[in-house]
Amino acid sequence: MARLSAAQYGKDNIRVYKVHRDEQTGIQDVVEMTVGVLLQGEIDTSYTQADNSVVVPTDTVKNTVYIMAKQHPVTPPELFGAIVATHFIETYKHIHSAQVKIITHRWTRMTVDGEPHPHSFLRDGAETRNVEAVANEGKGIELCSAIAGLLVLKSTGSAFHSFIRDEYTILPEVNDRILSTEVDCGWAWDTFRTLKDVESTVPKFNKAWSNARDITLKTFAQDESASVQNTMYKMCEQILAAVPMVKAVDYSLPNKHYFEIDLSWHKGLKNTGKDAEVYAPQSDPNGLIQCTVTRS
267 belongs to the catalytic site: no
Which one, of 246, 172, 123, 51, lies nearest residue 235 by Cα? Answer: 246
Pairing of strands 140-154, 179-189: antiparallel
Phi and psi angles of residue 88, each rounded to the nearest 5 degrees, phi first: -70, -40
- Which segments within 139-222 are labelled E, that is strand? 140-154, 179-189
User: Catalytic annotation on 218?
Assistant: no
CB 135 within 8 A of CB 67: no
**Catalytic residue among 18, 34, 45, 58, which?**
58
**Consecutive H or E run containing 15:** strand 9-21
Nearest-CA neighbor of 36 among 126, 130, 128?
A: 130
Q: Which DSSP state fits 224?
A: -
How distant, in Å, are the alpha carbons of 38, 87, 195 from that of 54? 15, 17, 25
132 to 5, 101, 128, 153, 293: CA distances (angstroms): 23, 4, 13, 28, 19
**In contact, 80 and 72? CB cutoff 8 Å:** yes
Do 231 and 223 contact (CB within 8 A), yes or no?
Answer: yes
Q: Can 58 be counted among the known catalytic residues?
A: yes
Whose CA is closest to 142, among 153, 158, 131? Answer: 131
* Catalytic residue (one of 87, 96, 101, 257): 257
Cα–Cα distances (Å) from 169 to 173, 234, 260, 272, in that order, read: 11, 28, 19, 21
Of the residues 11, 62, 101, 256, which is catalytic?
A: 11
Catalytic residues: 11, 58, 257
